[in-house]
Amino acid sequence: MSQNEVHSLRRPDHVCGLSGYFACIWAVWLCIAAIPGGGAAAHAGVQPRMSHGAIPEIAARSLPSVVSITTRRIERNQFNKLVPRAGMGSGVIVDRKGYILTNNHVVQGFEELRVTLPDGRAFRADLVGGDRFTDLALLRIAGDGLKALPLGDSARLRVGETVVGIGYPLWIEGGPTVTVGVISGKGRSMEEADEPSEPVLHDLVQTDAAINPGNSGGPLLNLRGEVIGINTATMPSAHGIGFAIPINNAKPVMKVLLAGARIIRPSLGVAAVSVTPQLSFANKFPVERGVLVVRVESGGPAEAAGLRPEDIITRLNGEWVQDLHHLHAFLARRTSGDTVEVIVLRDGQLFATSAVLAEEK
């Protein structure tokens, strides 16, 4: 609906009576709700009404801000020869000064970073900083006429809400790809029982908007064209399941990195996985909840406190530890140097000890 049409509905002179006036006001409200950024969108939890052309309009406004990131480094192969290794991901411009938000795993360990805009311009990118724990990184390029996308409020997301994903999947030529889906779930965690050393991502947004390799680091948008998530992962064995980091989790990380600071987190010095009822049943554990220690870091706090692989952490400072998410949430409220009381279950017996938290490496 055009702006002129909206204005015409505001004129009550063609409607007789008070009831007709209120009907007109209601029609105006519905029309504004259909406009991204309109009056209804200002209310928490209210999604703009999706018109037939809403997605193309959002895509047209957003595409100039979604970039392709190509990475390169030199490493040795099995024959001890130096060979180049390349990677690819996506990113989103979040500041006109050239700051780009992406996934940490897209850029971590690579020596050369190249950013290409949809208009064909390419830039060498500098890594401002990264955070392995949240899988976020911030890059910067020096370019003119850059367009930044606005950041939304992921706390307002509702399950079933329509979202738009943009990125550069599967090395496909011809510019970014746009996909559409809904918010399938919130508060998801991803941990790999077979890879306990890998970062564990918490509080993720689940979506069925197609996310493929190469999409990592691209934006997930609401119908107001605001970034409400950073696409980060898929499940290879599943169909229609992708995950994004909520933008509200990214904002404090960006603030620290923009200030030129480094994100410091306390660590217990263990690689661990959540104890679930399924894992407990399969291994005949005496408890169905907790955190199973898989590996103890050499010289770390846990080793000094006497923790061992196969210990199950059940309590920290008297707080019950339900899973790895609870463990990480507990640590997030502490600082390096804090002493915590650790209760573990070992060979069917409770074992109490104290650990002095160290800075995460």
Q: Which DSSP state fits 27? A: H
Of residues 297 and 17, the one with the higher pLDDT is: 297
Query: Cβ contacts of residue 195 below 8 Å, gap of 6+?
Result: none
**pLDDT at residue 82, as a whole number:** 76
Identify the pLDDT of residue 14.
35
Indicate if 226 and 275 belong to the same structural domain. no
The 10s digit of each residue's pLDDT in 251-299 is 999 999 999 888 888 999 998 999 999 999 999 999 999 999 999 999 9
For the cut 90, the answer to whether the pLDDT of residue 223 exceeds it is: yes
Q: Provide the pLDDT for residue 11.
A: 29
Q: Grade residue 340 by pLDDT with cuts at 50, 70 and 90.
A: very high
Domain range enclosing 9: 3-50
Domain count, the chain: 4
SS3 content of the chain, % helix, strand, coil (to 5): 25, 35, 40
pLDDT (mean) for 197-219: 85
Residue 131: inside a domain: yes
Range with top average pLDDT, 72-81, 163-172, 193-202: 163-172
215, 249, 283: which is the final residue of a domain? 249
More confident residue, 212 or 16: 212
Query: Among 44-53, 116-125, 206-215, 238-247, which is the least confidently predicted range?
Result: 44-53
Taken in order 209, 213, 138, 253, the sign of the CA dihedral is positive
Domain boundary residue, one of 95, 115, 140: 140
Q: CATH no. for residue 274?
A: 2.30.42.10
Annotation says 135 is catalytic: yes
Flag whether pLDDT at 198 surpasses 70.
Answer: no
Residue-level pLDDT at 7? 34
pLDDT score of 47: 58
* Mean pLDDT in residue range 171-195: 82
For residue 275, give the nearest of 290, 296, 293 by alpha carbon: 290
Range from 30-34, 39-43, 145-149, 175-179 that averages highest in pLDDT: 145-149
Do 171 and 202 lie in one domain? The reply is yes
**Do residue 36 and residue 77 come from a single domain?**
no
Question: 88 lies in a domain?
Answer: yes
pTM listed for this prediction: 0.76
Is 14 annotated as catalytic? Answer: no
Q: Do 123 and 207 fall into the same domain? A: no
Provide the pLDDT for residue 53: 64
Is the domain of 159 the same as that of 226?
Answer: yes
- Choice among 131, 135, 208, 323 that is catalytic: 135
What's the residue count for the chain? 361
Residue 214 has pLDDT above 80, yes or no: yes
Whether residues 209 and 273 fall in one domain = no
Helix, coil or strand: residue 348: coil
Mean pLDDT of 5-32: 37
Position 237 scores a pLDDT of 66
Distance CA 356, CA 361 (A): 15
Give the pLDDT confidence score for residue 236 in this predicted structure: 66
At residue 18, the pLDDT reads 35
Q: Is the pLDDT of residue 118 over 60?
A: yes
Confidence of residue 197 (pLDDT cuts 50, 70, 90): low
Asked if 100 and 185 sit in the same domain, the reply is: no
Please give the pLDDT value at position 249: 94
How many other β-carbons are positioned within 10 Å of the β-carbon of residue 146? 20
**pLDDT band at residue 212 using 50, 70 and 90 as cut-offs:** confident
Q: Are both 159 and 245 inside the same structural domain?
A: yes
Give the mean pLDDT of the chain: 83
Residue with tokens 């709700």: 33
Q: Average the pLDDT over 112-117 and give the result.
A: 94
Determine the distance from the C-alpha atom of residue 302 to the mean position of all C-alpha atoms in its chain, rounded to a whole number.
29
pLDDT of 100 over the 50 cut: yes
Q: Do 178 and 236 belong together in one domain?
A: yes
Rounded distance between C-alpha atoms, residue 132 and residue 198, angstroms: 9
170 backbone dihedrals φ, ψ, rounded to 5°: 55, 30
The catalytic residue among 68, 154, 216, 267 is 216
User: Which of 105, 184, 267, 274 is labelled catalytic?
Assistant: 105
Query: Which of 140, 165, 199 finishes a domain?
Result: 140
Q: Are strands 136-140 and 126-131 parallel, antiparallel or unpaired?
A: antiparallel
Inside any domain, residue 310: yes
In 212-348, the DSSP E strands lie at 219-221, 227-234, 242-246, 266-267, 270-275, 290-296, 312-316, 319-320, 339-346
Q: Is residue 146 part of a domain?
A: no
Q: What is the CATH classification number for the domain harbouring 215?
A: 2.40.10.10
Per-residue pLDDT reduced to its tens digit, 35-73: 444 444 444 445 556 555 689 999 999 999 999 999 988
Cβ contact 244:234 at 8 Å: no
**Residue 90 contacts residue 176 (beta carbons within 8 Å):** yes
Q: Are residues 216 and 191 in the same domain?
A: yes
The rounded distance, in Å, linking the Cα atoms of 223 and 161 is: 9
Domain membership of residue 258 (yes or no) is no
Specify whether 298 is catalytic: no
pLDDT band at 9 (very low <50, low <70, confident <90, very high): very low
